[in-house]
Structure 1
C-alpha cells in the first residue's frame, strides 16, 4: 500500500508579524496624512472667508427685534414660571369647585389614600367573576 501523508489540523508556521506591523504603520500614515489635509483645508477656508467677506458695520450688531407681537419675549423665564405653577398645583391643597365640594390634594397624599382605602371596583365585577368561576375560566 502507498504511504499516506498524515494531515495536520493546525498551522505549521507562526503568524507573520512583519505584515501586520507594516499594515498598522500604513494605517497610521494614512490617518495622519488625512488629518493634515483636513487641517490645511480648514485653514484655507478660514482665510478665504476672511478675505472674501465684507467688513460688518458697527450698526449691524445692534439688531432690533422684529416688529409685531412677540410670542415669547423670555422663554426661559416663562418656563420657570410654568414649572412653579404646575408644581404648586401638584403639591398643594386647594379648591377646584368649591360649590360642588371638589378639592385638590397633593399627589403623594392621594396615592397614600388610594392604598389605604383601596381602588374602586366596578359593580358588575363580582357578577362577571362568579360567571367565569362557574365556567371554569381563569
Structure 2
C-alpha cells in the first residue's frame, strides 16, 4: 500500500466532518420537532391555550376565637365539672365515673394495698 497523500487525508477528514454535521443537524431537527409536537399535543388535549383563571372576588374571613381567655375558662369549668360529678364512663361495660375527691378517699382507705388488683388472678383450669 502506498502512503496516502495529504490531499486524500484532507478529503477523508472532510467526509467525517460533513457526516457529523449532518448527524447533529438531524438530531437537532428531531428534538425540535418532538418538542413542538408535545407542546401542540398538550395544548390540544389539556386545553391550556386560552384558559383564563378568574380570581375569587372576596376571600372568606378567618374563623378566629372572639374570646380565647373566656373559651379557656369555659373549658376548664367543663373539665372541673366532670371531675366533681358522677356519671357513666361506659354504660355497656358498667363503668362509672365518680368524683375525684371520692376516688382519692377510697384509694387512701385501702392503705398499702391501694394499687393491688381488685380481683385475684385467675388460675388456668388444669383439666384443659
**Both structures adopt the same fold (TM-score exceeding 0.5):** no
* Structure number with bigger Rg: 2
